[in-house]
Amino acid sequence: MELAGIVLSDNKQGLFVSRLENRVRALGLQNYSDYYRYIHDDVNNYERHHLVDLLTTNETFFFREAAHFEFLRELAKSSAGAFRVWSAACSSGEEAWSVAMTLADALRTGPWEVVGTDISRRVLAKARNAHYAMERIDGIPSAFLKRYCLRGIDREAGTLLVHKMLRERVRFCYSNLLQPRQDLGTFDVIFLRNVMIYFDNDTKLKVVRNLLPYLKNDGFLVTGHAESLTSLNCGLKMLRPTLYQRR
Ligand SMILES: C[S@@+](CC[C@H](N)C(=O)[O-])C[C@H]1O[C@@H](n2cnc3c(N)ncnc32)[C@H](O)[C@@H]1O
């Protein structure tokens, strides 16, 4: 899918077709050609965004791949000046909030900021709400739960809201990795995790090159454990699997 750079592998095509069939039916259209025309004529891009939502996989959870947060914590402690992290492809925000809790703990009152971006407006809305079902919070260390999360009561029972002091330092906005927005500034660390598995090698290279200008000198790029950049000549030095540094 050109807009997102997603390549549909054979085993994902069945899933995609069934989601698309439901959508075509829900719109009262006859077939895919009608749907194609419908998207083509959609001046507000509403249906294009809907299609992105149908195609993307948004699975995520708090403190996913915990070693990355250990690394972040040590790096932040040894940093000077405002520490900035970008959760690129942040899905519904669990990654960005995990980063925020780690930085708040490591830096206390020191200056830090987190930016979360994604191509799906639906998940970005969830991320901004910072409001999660209790079943989703397993990975959050108990000290962080106490310090950075509010447990819902009455009508909100069974849910959790991320504390205002973190919400003030984290912002979410739309950005496509293939054409990142220009106003993000530069970062000490970019999390680019569990999204490149959907890209072919050319797209991966393009995405990584797109992101390089947003990394401070000596800044770090973190990928998911199933993603490797070793076969790409992208100007980053691998320190260990999933951890790369701009030199
Ligand atoms: C599986 S989630 C990963 C979430 C999180 N990074 C993690 O590791 O838990 C992948 C996310 O990438 C987003 N995505 C896919 N293609 C994208 C693109 N071209 N630009 C920005 N985000 C994209 C999807 O919308 C989805 O929310």
Span 23-66, pLDDT tens digits? 899 989 998 899 889 888 888 788 888 888 888 889 999 999 99
Q: Does residue 108 carry a pLDDT above 60?
A: yes
| Percent with pLDDT over 70 in the chain | 95
Q: Which residues contact 180 (CB under 8 A, 6 or more apart)?
A: 88, 117, 210, 211, 214
| Distance from the Cα of residue 143 to its chain's centroid | 24
Residue nearest to atom 27 of ligand 1 (CA): 91
125 and 155 share a domain? yes
Same domain, 92 and 203: yes
How much is the pTM? 0.91
Give the model confidence (pLDDT) of 68-88 as tens digits: 999 999 999 999 889 999 999
**Catalytic residue positions, numbered:** 19, 118
Q: Contact 215/247 with Cβ under 8 angstroms?
A: no
Q: Do 43 and 96 share a domain, yes or no?
A: no
pLDDT for the residue 32: 87
C-alpha span between 63 and 93 (Å, rounded): 11
Domain count, the chain: 2
Q: How far is the CA of 198 from the centre of ligand 1 (A)?
A: 9
- The better pLDDT of the pair 181, 4 is held by 181
What integer best gives the mean pLDDT of the chain?
A: 91
25 lies in the same domain as 85: no
How far does the centroid of ligand 1 lie from the alpha carbon of residue 50, in Å? Answer: 15
Report the pLDDT averaged over residues 172-182. 96
The CATH number given to whatever domain includes residue 134 is 3.40.50.150
Q: Quick check: is 61 in a domain?
A: no
Assess whether 50 and 70 both reside in one domain.
no
Range of the domain at 42: 10-55
Same domain, 72 and 40: no
Q: Tell me, yes or no, whether 60 lies in a domain.
A: no
Q: Is the pLDDT of residue 3 over 90?
A: no
Same domain for 49 and 158?
no
